[in-house]
Amino acid sequence: MASDASVVTTQPLPRLLGVEVIEATKAKVRGRLYVRADLCTSGHILHGGAIMAFADTLGATGAYLNLPDGAGTTTIESKTNFIAPAREGTTVEAESVPLHVGRRSSVWQTRIARADGALVAIVTQTQLVLMP
């Protein structure tokens, strides 16, 4: 099992989105995403699906880092509260922390914010532990 976020670089969608992992430990995963035009709605704000995929990547990375050897993980539930827009040409940063890490599942909460500190979204996701 990888001891860092190198698992993200092997996934096509996070690479396509441009997800950058800044820090990845069992207790916290931090990342950033540049808001490009192709990730936006027609109103030049970050698309909700891109926000959710960004958060899912960070939460799943944290879950992965907490797995026993040989196990995998998959998202089985995700809830997003959209708070404020992130405009094209800006960068958002996120921090994902575990609310629960158990034998069969883990729950991660990701806070995504703009550079000015305004909260963009809060995502809570449940990750299933897939035993070999």
pLDDT, tens only, 55-99: 999 999 999 999 999 999 999 999 999 999 999 999 999 999 999
Distance between CA atoms of 81 and 89, rounded to whole angstroms?
22
Note the pTM of the prediction, 2 decimals: 0.94
Residue 30 phi, psi dihedral angles, 5° rounding: -120, 145
Residue carrying structure tokens 């996120």: 94
Identify the pLDDT of residue 9: 76
Q: Which CATH superfamily, name and number, covers 5-130?
A: Hotdog Thioesterase (3.10.129.10)
Phi first, then psi, for residue 20 (nearest 5°) are: -115, 120
| Structural domain spans, the chain | 5-130
Phi, psi of 48 (to 5 degrees): -60, -35
Cα distance between residue 36 and residue 109, in whole Å: 24
| pLDDT tens column, 34-54 | 999 999 999 999 999 999 999
